[in-house]
Amino acid sequence: MTGGVPAPLRSGGVGFRDRDDQHPGRCYDQLVISQRGSIAVKNAGVAVAKARLSSLLDAVEAGQEVTITRRGKPVARLIAVSAPLQASARFDLAGLKAYVIAGGVAKRSKRTTAVADARARSALMVYLDTSVLGALFFRQPGAARIADRLKRARGPLLLSSWTLTEMASVAAIKERSGEVDLAAKGAALSAFQQFVSDSMEVREVDPLDFRTAATLLEPAVLGLRAGDALHLAVARRAGADLATLDRRQASAALHHRIRLYALT
């Protein structure tokens, strides 16, 4: 590359384009801003990354992602490092919203915690399946809205021990696909495990749940998978409302008269 000249970007605004000496007339966008869900994504060429590193880091801290390209091909990605969870902070629903938005955990007073916990024991329970927890802890679009809706739950939040396995599987799939790197995967699972420890009730899978799940797979037209049927079985045994983002799971729950907790 022999230097850049200003040129309009396809997305509007002004960026830089580099010439490719081996292919006269070919140029590569040096700074392109696009949108992926609710996250602004920047693609920056090597020259711009060197010249504007400080401003790119500011963008990353603000929640954007920056992909570094060489001759138009992605070679590296800048992402924000999640703020470490404070050992003294209780990871409650207020903390969940803070985690989803900025990676931190909000504290609340012991008195508020005690009052909320007392109310929860006398209210309805909500069972969260893996689709909801995966969206929250991997900060998918709409996660903040889900966190807000869960804050309105009148009872304790439940999950099954089976969900712990599924969340590990989701994390592994995201790493293999390149959606997250090893550090981001570890941060998400660490936050998930702390939230479970501080603010959720874990229901162990009972042998009877497997038999119940087998019956919930019918009728076949529901298209329910074995793991999803197991979620329904545990939620039914607990007498809890089901919170899910899986439309097929929601349809099967309604068919089997398992209440849904609205996330919209």
d(CA 234, CA 71) in angstroms, rounded, equals 52
What is the model's pLDDT at position 65?
A: 76
Asked if residue 205 and residue 150 are part of one domain, the reply reads yes
pLDDT in tens, 26-64: 444 455 544 444 344 567 788 888 888 888 887 777 667
| CB 204, CB 160: distance < 8 Å | yes
- Tell me, what amino acid is at 129? D
Does residue 72 lie within any of the structural domains? Answer: yes
Does residue 204 lie within any of the structural domains? Answer: yes
A 10 A CB-CB count for 101 gives 14
Does residue 262 lie within any of the structural domains? Answer: no
Q: Name the residue with higher pLDDT: 17 or 240.
A: 240
Alpha helices by DSSP H, 42-160: 46-51, 53-61, 93-102, 110-121, 130-137, 143-151
Does the pLDDT of residue 119 top 50, yes or no?
A: no
Asked if residue 139 and residue 68 are part of one domain, the reply reads no
Q: Name the residue with higher pLDDT: 264 or 197.
A: 197
With H, G, I as helix, E, B as strand and everything else as coil, classify residue 213. Answer: helix
| CB 185, CB 153: distance < 8 Å | no
What is the model's pLDDT at position 202?
A: 93
Domain boundary among 78, 101, 122: 78
Q: Name the residue with higher pLDDT: 127 or 31.
A: 127
Asked if residue 198 and residue 109 are part of one domain, the reply reads yes
Task: Give the chain's domain count.
Answer: 2
Asked if residue 207 and residue 114 are part of one domain, the reply reads yes
Asked if residue 109 and residue 70 are part of one domain, the reply reads no
Domain boundary among 50, 78, 106: 78
Report the pLDDT averaged over residues 133-160.
91
- 56-77: b or e for each residue (b if 16 or more CB lie within 10 Å)? beebbeeebbbbbbeeeeeeee
What average pLDDT does the chain have?
76
With H, G, I as helix, E, B as strand and everything else as coil, classify residue 18. Answer: strand
What lies within 8 Å, CB to CB, of 178 at 6+ separation is none
Confidence band for 14, pLDDT divided at 50, 70 and 90: very low
Does residue 261 lie within any of the structural domains? Answer: no
Does residue 87 lie within any of the structural domains? Answer: no
Does residue 162 lie within any of the structural domains? Answer: yes
CATH number at residue 154: 3.40.50.1010
Asked if residue 32 and residue 128 are part of one domain, the reply reads no
What is the model's pLDDT at position 59?
A: 77
Asked if residue 71 and residue 13 are part of one domain, the reply reads yes
Does residue 22 lie within any of the structural domains? Answer: yes
pLDDT in tens, 78-105: 777 654 444 445 666 667 777 777 654 4
d(CA 215, CA 258) in angstroms, rounded, equals 14
Asked if residue 134 and residue 60 are part of one domain, the reply reads no
Does the pLDDT of residue 8 top 70, yes or no?
A: no
- The residue among 187, 186, 132 whose CA lies nearest residue 160 is 132
Asked if residue 232 and residue 114 are part of one domain, the reply reads yes
- The residue among 139, 171, 132 whose CA lies nearest residue 36 is 139
Strand order in the sheet with 200-203: 200-203, 157-160, 126-128, 241-243
Domain boundary among 35, 55, 78: 78
Asked if residue 163 and residue 116 are part of one domain, the reply reads yes
Asked if residue 22 and residue 111 are part of one domain, the reply reads no
What is the model's pLDDT at position 90?
A: 64
Q: Name the residue with higher pLDDT: 74 or 128.
A: 128
With H, G, I as helix, E, B as strand and everything else as coil, classify residue 241. Answer: strand
Full residue range of the structural domain in which residue 29 is found: 4-78
| CB 71, CB 28: distance < 8 Å | yes
Does residue 83 lie within any of the structural domains? Answer: no
Highest mean pLDDT among 58-67, 68-77, 122-131, 237-246: 237-246
Asked if residue 140 and residue 29 are part of one domain, the reply reads no
